[in-house]
Amino acid sequence: MKKINYLEIEGRSSGFIALLGILGIIALAGIGAFIYMEHSGHHVTGMDNQIVWGMPHVFAIFLIVAASGALNVASIGTVFNKAIYKPLGRLSVLMAIALLAGGLMVLLLDLGRPDRLIVAMTYYNFKSIFAWNIILYNGFFAVTIVYLWMMMEKRMVPYYRPAGIAAFIWRLILTTGTGSIFGFLVARSAFDAAIMAPMFIIMSFSFGLAIFLLILMLGYQWTERPLGDAIVKRLKNLLGIFVAAVLYFTLAYHLTNLYATEHHDVEKFILAGDSIHTTLFWIVEILIGGIIPLAIIYSKFSTSRTWLGLATIMIIIGGLAKIYVIVIGGQAFPLEIFPGMEVISSTFGDANSYHIYNPSTPEFILGISGVAVAILIITMGVRVLKFMPESLADADVDPHNKG
């Protein structure tokens, strides 16, 4: 195996400028959407007192979950000493930081009072998992930046592995925290489950790696740098395992719920209802986000970068659908306030069989702008710093390569 040479991308091509331009416009549109929503108040959104977390939360949670997953590639190299993953470490950490920044931006800008961020940063109610998450997110930036520094600075090499282990442990705790936001909601039929935390961890593995692989393939294609099959094959096989694991956890979650009579109604609503959540669950989450990409990954199609890229996009879309069904679906199903009773009428929407949420355009734009900001950070990152190996050809990275 040769010595890896990291190099900034040139960033002079019209394609690069166009990419920055498009991402910049989406990011600016997101800022515009935020100003509009903040100035008018949340009445311009599809959210109300029943669906209190909407589209911005779906994107924010997806990005935050994916962020910790994107770090896995670096962790496999550092913590588990897999040599082939090591050249990808820097890019992996950069993506983790970028995705988290994008997600947190959306989360923050959707607050009722984002101007009071300082309150959230200075006063903590330690019984709140949300408060813990604020510490975990800030800590994630600190831990990963130190990790990156150890990775990039030659004289810091002795500390590189401990920093990597610290980052790995931190990311596991962070995703446990994100999953527990839902797992700790005792009153909601769809949420109150211990499996939420581990399921979110496995979701992060899958979504994070899908994004990593997609950006890796696009990045090397656009910069015309060599990306060998050895590394792609390793990553796609791992991705397949993660996608299957997400399906397994989803199955375990619903089977457990289906066993308990008290959860039959909410399961019927998600799995066999007439709302959008049932369609999203079966068609987008399970079929498009799970079964089809699995079939692609483990078939001969996977030798084609186009098909593989398509599979990663499907996993990402399926992931967004999964978060949507968890976050919005969980709220759309009415609270079981009076078990055994049927609500005939109420002035506060209690009598609805389920709540309908129609996301407004600004909400969607704010959400998608988080994705744009994340990609913008990655693009600028690889432009100004040495994140991307000049070559990831098999001969350069694969320790078992005979050629």
Partner 1 sequence: MNKQEIPVQGISRRKFLGASAATAGIGIASGVSLINIANAKPLDEPVSNDQRWGMLIDANKCASGCTSCVDACNTENGLNAGDEQLSRQGQKAQWIRKVELRDKATQHEISLPLLCQHCENPPCVDVCPTGASFKREDGLVLVDKHTCIGCRYCMMACPYKARSFIHEELLNQLEDVPRGKGTVESCTFCVHRLDEDTDNRRDPACVEACNADGHQAIIFGDMKDANSAISQQLKKHTSKAIRADLKLNPGVRYRGI
- 3-state DSSP call for residue 162? helix
- The residue (of 158 and 340) whose beta carbon lies closer to partner 1 is 340
Using CB under 8 A, pick the residue from 158, 224, 300, 342 that binds partner 1: 342
Complex with partner 1: residue 305 or 355, whichever CB lies closer:
355
**CB nearer partner 1, residue 235 or residue 327:** 327
Return d(Cα 222, Cα 13) in angstroms, integer: 10
Identify the residue among 5, 15, 25, 124 touching partner 1 (CB under 8 A).
124
Asked if residue 97 lies in contact with residue 145, where contact means CB atoms within 8 angstroms, the answer is yes
Q: How far is CA 218 from CA 68, 221, 245, 358, in A?
A: 21, 5, 26, 33
**Alpha-carbon distance 247 to 354, whole Å?**
26
113 binds partner 1 (CB under 8 A): yes
Residue 366 beta carbon to partner 1: minimum distance, rounded to whole angstroms: 15
If binding is defined by CB under 8 A, does position 184 make contact with partner 1? yes
Stretch that binds partner 1, among 1-9, 122-130, 300-308, 363-371 (CB under 8 A): 122-130
Spatial neighbors of 6 by CB under 8 A, at least 6 apart, are: 90, 386, 387, 388, 389, 390
- CA triple 320-324-234, angle to 5 deg: 25
What is the DSSP secondary-structure string of 83-131? GGGGGGHHHHHHHHHHHHHHHHHHHHHTSS-GGGHHHHHH---TT-HHH
Q: Using the rule CB under 8 A, which residue among 5, 13, 81, 128 binds partner 1? A: 128
Q: Which of 31, 42, 195, 401 binds partner 1 (CB under 8 A)?
A: 42
Closer residue to partner 1 (CB): 83 or 335: 335
The answer to the question of residue 194 lying near partner 1 (CB under 8 A) is: no
Sole window of 36-44, 136-144, 166-174, 221-229 interacting with partner 1 (rule: CB under 8 A): 36-44
Number of residues in contact with partner 1 under rule CB under 8 A:
51
The two three-digit tokens of residue 4, written as one number: 């890896």
| Beta carbon of residue 250, minimum distance to partner 1 (angstroms, whole number) | 21
Asked if 347 interacts with partner 1 (CB under 8 A), we say yes
d(CA 211, CA 206): 9
Cα distance between residue 181 and residue 61, in whole Å: 10
Pick from 187, 224, 300, 400 the residue near partner 1 by CB under 8 A: 187
Q: How far is CA 356 from CA 49, 221, 325, 352, 367, in A?
A: 12, 43, 13, 9, 19
Residue 361 within binding range of partner 1, rule CB under 8 A: no
CA angle 18, 22, 28 (to 5 degrees): 140
Cβ closer to partner 1: 339 or 403? Answer: 339
Residue 110 Cβ vs partner 1, minimum distance, rounded to whole Å: 9
- 82 burial type by CB count under 10 A (0-12 exposed, 13-18 middle, 19+ buried): middle
Query: What is the rounded distance in angstroms from the CA atom of residue 346 to the CA atom of residue 359?
Result: 24
Compute the least distance from the CB of residue 55 to partner 1, in Å.
Answer: 14
Determine, following the binding rule CB under 8 A, whether residue 138 of this chain makes contact with partner 1.
no
**Where does this chain touch partner 1 (CB under 8 A) — which range of 71-79, 182-190, 228-236, 366-374?**
182-190
Give the shortest CB-350-to-partner 1 separation in angstroms. 6
Whole-number Cα distances in Å, 82 to 72, 236, 279? 12, 16, 40
The smaller minimum CB distance to partner 1, of residues 22 and 260, is found at: 260
261 is a site residue for partner 1 (CB under 8 A): no
| Contacting residue, 343, 380, 385, 395, with partner 1 by CB under 8 A | 343
User: Does 41 sit near partner 1 (CB under 8 A)?
Assistant: yes
Q: Which is nearer to partner 1, 331 or 379 (CB)?
A: 331
Angle between helix 305-324 and helix 229-259 axes, rounded to 10 deg: 30
Q: Which residues bind partner 1 (CB under 8 A)?
A: 38, 40-43, 47-50, 52-53, 111-114, 116-117, 119-120, 123-125, 127-131, 134, 181, 184-188, 331, 335, 337-350, 355
